[in-house]
Structure 1
Amino acid sequence: MNEIIGECMRRLDQSLGYLELAAGRLTEDQIWFRPRPKMNAIGNLCLHLAGNEYQHLVCAVGGRPAERDRPSEFLTRGGCTPEELLESLREVRRESRAVVNGLTEKDLERAVTVHYTESSEMENYSWSIQKVLIGTAEHYAYHTGQIVYLAKWLQEEDVHLLNWKHYD
């Protein structure tokens, strides 16, 4: 496997592991808690990550039709347990991995188009597969940090979720 492909997938898997640690400790009410009305809950960010990864890797790179309802990722106010959200993220990862495992070094330079539905009010764009992989990993890590921070804030005890050394 190409180094860029391998590193992007390693980072995506690492972020998913962090989400499993963080969200796996929370209740359904905590997953759907919004610190302020205009802020996203952890559940919304999980739906958003699943939708984004699916759209970019499975659809744009893998050639499946884009079926993402991006607005609902942010408008949803509940209805999924933490485990259901995590399983959705895991399923998307399995599908992404199946697509990415078939890529060659030459494929990385090939341009693909990321398509959005009209309801998303987003513009389609074309990127190289390499840029799609890097952008997807970066986007996932960004929202993973938000989720981990909010999960730490919501938990009852003061536990370092990622076992990193922090100083008081």
Structure 2
Amino acid sequence: MLIQTLKSLFNRDLNKLKEEIEAYQSESQLWVIDKNISNSAGNLCLHLIGNLNTYIGAELGKTGYIRDRPLEFSAKDIPKAQLISKIEETILVVNNTLDSLKESDLEHIYTQIVFEKEMTTGFFLVHLSTHLAYHLGQINYHRRLS
């Protein structure tokens, strides 16, 4: 049951991420920062893509994805269409990985130490969902300020 709930939440929020990116009137607005806003919507989008492809795709789904976290925050001016394509690819990775899990897998200890202590896979997947929602809200706010 939790796997289906997580799948529903990831799909909802990743599709909303795609809508938010599409809603920017110009590509340059995606990359705007301000003295009090250090991460652009484009960089937050790249960060979410890297995060989910690392912790769900590479770790649980064995996709072979290799993360370049500094690039998530330093890359600029990636076309909107490319960001959307990366989101769509991430949706597939998340769905394929979650479809491969059994409910009992959620009780296992996650394969990496992420927060300096062990946690179950289920706990970490819930965290990843809330992390996505957190940054999605920031992107929505950023878009409406532009």
TM-score over 0.5 (shorter chain): yes
Deviates more, 1:25-34 or 1:14-23: 14-23
Comparing 68-77 and 140-149, the one that deviates more: 68-77
TM-score, normalised by the number of residues in structure 2: 0.88
Cα separation, partners in 2 of 1:72 and 1:124, compared to 1, 3 Å: farther
Aligned CA RMSD, in angstroms, stands at: 2.1
Question: What is the alpha-carbon distance in structure 2 between the residues aligned to residue 140 and residue 52 of structure 1?
Answer: 9
Measured at CA, do residues 65 and 23 of structure 1 come closer, stay the same or move farther in structure 2, by a change above 3 Å?
closer
Letter in 2 for 1:152: R
* Superimposed CA distance per residue, residues 41-70 of structure 1 (whole angstroms, 9 cap, x where no aligned partner): 111001000000011111121234451011
Instruction: Determine the structure 2 residue equivalent to 1:69.
Output: 68
Residue type at the aligned position of 2:141: Y
Give the TM-score, by structure 1 length: 0.77
Contact 1:31 1:41 in 2 (8 A): yes
Residue identity in the other structure for 2:66: E
Deviations 1:19-51 (A, max 9, x none): 222210212101111123860111100100000
Which 4+ runs in 1 deviate beyond 2 A? 35-38, 63-66, 112-115, 122-127
Q: Of the candidates 86, 95, 98, which is equivalent to residue 97 of structure 1? A: 95
Unaligned runs of at least 5 residues, structure 1: 116-121, 155-168
Q: Measure the CA separation in 2 of the matches of 1:142 and 1:99.
A: 22
Mark the runs of 5 or more structure 2 residues left unpaired by the alignment: none
Alignment partners' CA distance in 2, 1:46 and 1:14: 15
* Count of residues in Structure 1 that have an aligned counterpart in Structure 2: 145
**Percent identity between the aligned chains?**
28
